[in-house]
Amino acid sequence: MTRHTERAVVSGRRALAAVEAALRHAESIATKVAVVVVDRTGAPAAGCRDEDALPATSDLALAKARAAAGFGRPSESLAAAVQPGAPYFGLPAAVAAPIATFAGGLPLLVGGYCFGAVGVSGGTGEQDAEIAEAAVSAYLTAAADAPPVPHTTSPNA
């Protein structure tokens, strides 16, 4: 049995618009970054690394986005929770896909539901978070101008 619901899911076109907005904002503050948009499972929907950004920024942006998508909150908000003695100590090493708890990962939220995230790496933590906010804003603005993407689930999902 399959059921059909109207729920926000990551759209490839909107993800590309978010990446473009992030790169424009990064350029406006003279920062070279990598940007990625992921769905709620952490799978990449769109991404790009500025040709002058360090190669490692791509992996870090993805890890930040996965942290934000997996927990539905900014990546840096997890930093204290993964320290020795904290509730999630060891979590980054325990999950199959790398996550990073540095600033620059922001969830995509609609009505409190996290349906994806943006990750940015290459600047300072403050710059990465600012650029990620520009990407989230662009994504949600584009989404507001379009109907929800239908999401079909099976009883096993």
- Residue for token pair 């999950």: 95
Per-residue model confidence (pLDDT) at position 148: 53
Per-residue model confidence (pLDDT) at position 42: 94
* pLDDT confidence bin for 91, thresholds 50/70/90: confident
d(CA 53, CA 26): 11
Number of H helices, E strands in the chain: 4, 6
d(CA 117, CA 65): 5
CATH architecture of the domain covering 3-137: 2-Layer Sandwich (3.30)
- Output DSSP code: residue 86: S
Is the pLDDT score of 136 beyond 60? yes
Q: Decide: 52 and 60 in contact? Cβ < 8 Å.
A: no
Q: What average pLDDT does the chain have?
A: 88
Q: What is the CA radius of gyration of the chain?
A: 15
CA 19-6-69 angle, to 5 degrees, is 40
- Partners of residue 68 on adjacent β-strands: none
